[in-house]
Amino acid sequence: MRLPLILAGLLLVSVACARPLGPGDRIRIACEESPAICVDRPVSTDGIVSIPGIGGLVVAGHELVNVEADIRALLRKSGVPNPHVQVLLLPSSGRPVEVFGQVSSPGELPIAKGMTLAQVLAVAQPSSGADLEHIQIESSSGAIQLFDSTSGDIELRSGDRVTVPVLTTPNDILVLGGVTRPGAVPFKKSLTLGDCLRAVGGLSGHGDPTAIAVQRGKTRVALRSPADSSFEIRRGDVIRVGLTPEMSYVPVSGAVVHPGAVAFHKGMTLTQIIDATGGLVSRGFSVEIIVKTVRGRGDTRKFDWAAIKSGQIGDPLISQNDAIEVVLK
């Protein structure tokens, strides 16, 4: 039988492997019943091995015994009744890539042509406290570069040492002041002011959209909503939404669609107040509007609505001390 001789040769060049396979590994496949698949194959960057007569087989994340079982099953389907398959890991042809720091699975990974930082991080699994914007890559010659893995990818070389540092700035964005649910918003790339405000339920009834500030270290950036909703937020920013001054209200009664209190601001006219109530109930009658000053001297003014609308008299200014009654005549 040829199989023991083949396997004996494999044992001379292979290494023990109890870990899952990954990109960059090279395996040797032996099967006496199907000599065509007795080949050496690399694991591609996609985690696939190409096997003659079988095609691509996903092996990344699988141990050798699992790969053997998968190949046996495929051979049986192709008509080989009882195949004996052995898969062994071959020694790496280059120095491994090392990864350390804030990762769940630190250690060495076999180098593969085209292997990138993103692929290494996917295997190493950075922790929640990892600073992925300042990853240190040290080459075998000792040259060091910092790389932001959140904005791109980079190809690694044999012997590279990757260090993932701990995050030193807060990973949450604080949103404080006049919002519905003040608190922390998890940071993510391309986060905007609008995203943060929506995450906390938007501005509260007393939130001032013209008084929003982003504190970035010692720098304060004044913003408005919604005009500046696309402003990009950085890690560690603090967003403060100012409060509006205490509101004043003018009571409106009588023949309007929605009698009640109308929010008042300085400079409002009688027409603006009436419009805020939804307008008059009926336009088929003459309308007299009585404006009483309820605090101070207690003056009463009367206005003909038709004269105001036609421009015969000016649109009178209203004060926060006024009360308005609309009378049909």
Distance in angstroms (rounded) separating the CA atoms of residues 149 and 87 = 35
- pLDDT at site 293: 73
Q: Compute the half-sphere exposure of residue 65: CA atoms within 13 Å on the CB side of its CA.
A: 3
Distance in angstroms (rounded) separating the CA atoms of residues 250 and 262 = 5
Average pLDDT over residues 271-282: 88
Query: Is the per-residue pLDDT at 37 higher than 60?
Result: yes
Query: Is the per-residue pLDDT at 41 higher than 50?
Result: yes
Confidence of residue 65 (pLDDT cuts 50, 70, 90): very high
**Which of 81-90, 141-150, 254-263, 293-302 bottoms out in mean pLDDT, i.e. has the lowest?**
293-302
Q: pTM here?
A: 0.41
Distance in angstroms (rounded) separating the CA atoms of residues 278 and 273 = 9
- pLDDT at site 14: 42
- pLDDT at site 18: 57
Tens digit of pLDDT for each residue in 153-175?
A: 999 988 899 999 998 877 789 99
- Residue 186 CA to its chain's centroid (Å): 8
State both tokens at 231. 């402003």
Domains of the chain: 3-90 (3.30.1950.10), 97-164 (3.10.560.10), 172-243 (3.10.560.10), 248-328 (3.10.560)
Confidence of residue 151 (pLDDT cuts 50, 70, 90): confident
Query: Is the per-residue pLDDT at 296 higher than 70?
Result: no
CA 13 to each of CA 68, 109, 280: distance values in angstroms, whole numbers, following the listed order: 18, 19, 95
Tens digit of pLDDT for each residue in 3-35?
A: 433 333 333 334 445 568 877 778 999 999 999
Query: Is the per-residue pLDDT at 325 higher than 80?
Result: yes
